[in-house]
Structure 1
């Protein structure tokens, strides 16, 4: 029973590391992915060693599978909290809502606007890029100003230059400083 508990705990460590390593590889973070891969390999060998040391102990095998499943769940939660990378958001709204555009820019989001042809009228599209950890904040702001907005988000593989690389960081820092000063007053 103790060995099955140990197998379960080792799997709880292994699978989140596996999840993060995979995400880092996909995001092009080669060095971090390699470091996570080394840790993953060590934990994997330890878990398999425990299971293979006694193949007649079915409890170890069940603990291995259960630990893998729970570890996947934990890994997904960790990845969601870390929100590594960027997201591109396309917002389709019925009118040019300058108040919304100004608010998004004030909060440090990049915003490009264009008039587009809808099915029966001219609509406005906002093209924005943000860090993934700010996606929910972005959607909340848009929803406050335009409850019926159509919002699509996707992850860009790479980008170069533009507003996001410099000004976005400066604007965010300015906004947080202003917010902190307001809260302290």
Structure 2
């Protein structure tokens, strides 16, 4: 029973570490990803070593599988809380809303506007914005307060150069989360 508990706890540590290593690799954080990889390897070898030491112990195998599943869930929660990186957000609204645009800019969001053509030649306005991922819910709430029927789509840019967000990052290095 103690071995099963050790395996379960090891998996609760292993999978979130695996999740963080993967995120750091994707974000280009080579050194941190390598450090997480070493930690991941140690946990993995210990847990699997215990499981393989007695393949007739189904409780250990079940603890491994259950710990892995719960670890995936915990890893996702950690990733959402850390919200590493940036997000590009595109907002489509019916009319140009100067109050919304001003409010977003006053809150520190970059906003570029353009008039676009929708279906049946309908005129729409598009806001293109970039923000830290941890501020995405705040951004969406502000837009929803001003434009409840706005179409909002977001995605993570792989990299970017220049523009308002780059200047703001240089000015406010303290406000950019480091991982």
**TM-score, scaled relative to structure 1:** 0.90
Counterpart check, 1:13 vs 2:13 = yes
Determine the structure 2 residue equivalent to 1:151.
152
Deviation at 1:167, TM superposition (A): 2.3
In the alignment, the residues of structure 2 paired with residue 111 and residue 52 of structure 1 have an alpha-carbon distance, to the nearest angstrom, of 56
Question: Aligned Cα RMSD in Å?
Answer: 1.7
Deviations 1:22-78 (A, max 9, x none): 111111111111111011001111111111111111100000000000000000000
Deviations 1:68-123 (A, max 9, x none): 00000000000000001110000000111000000000000000000001114211
In the alignment, the residues of structure 1 paired with residue 174 and residue 25 of structure 2 have an alpha-carbon distance, to the nearest angstrom, of 29
Aligned partner of residue 114 in structure 1, secondary structure: strand
Determine the structure 1 residue equivalent to 2:137.
136
Counterpart check, 1:79 vs 2:79 = yes
Determine the structure 1 residue equivalent to 2:168.
167
Structure 1's consecutive aligned runs of 4 or more residues displaced over 3 angstroms after TM superposition are: 168-174
Q: Note the 1:1-185 alignment, pairs <5 A.
A: 1-120=1-120, 121-167=122-168, 170=171
Residue-pair matches, total: 174
Q: Is the 8 A contact 1:108 1:172 kept in 2?
A: no
Q: Is the 8 A contact 1:108 1:168 kept in 2?
A: no
**TM-score, scaled relative to structure 2:** 0.93
Q: Is the 8 A contact 1:108 1:169 kept in 2?
A: no
In the alignment, the residues of structure 1 paired with residue 150 and residue 173 of structure 2 have an alpha-carbon distance, to the nearest angstrom, of 24
In the alignment, the residues of structure 2 paired with residue 73 and residue 129 of structure 1 have an alpha-carbon distance, to the nearest angstrom, of 28
Unaligned runs of 5+ in 2: none
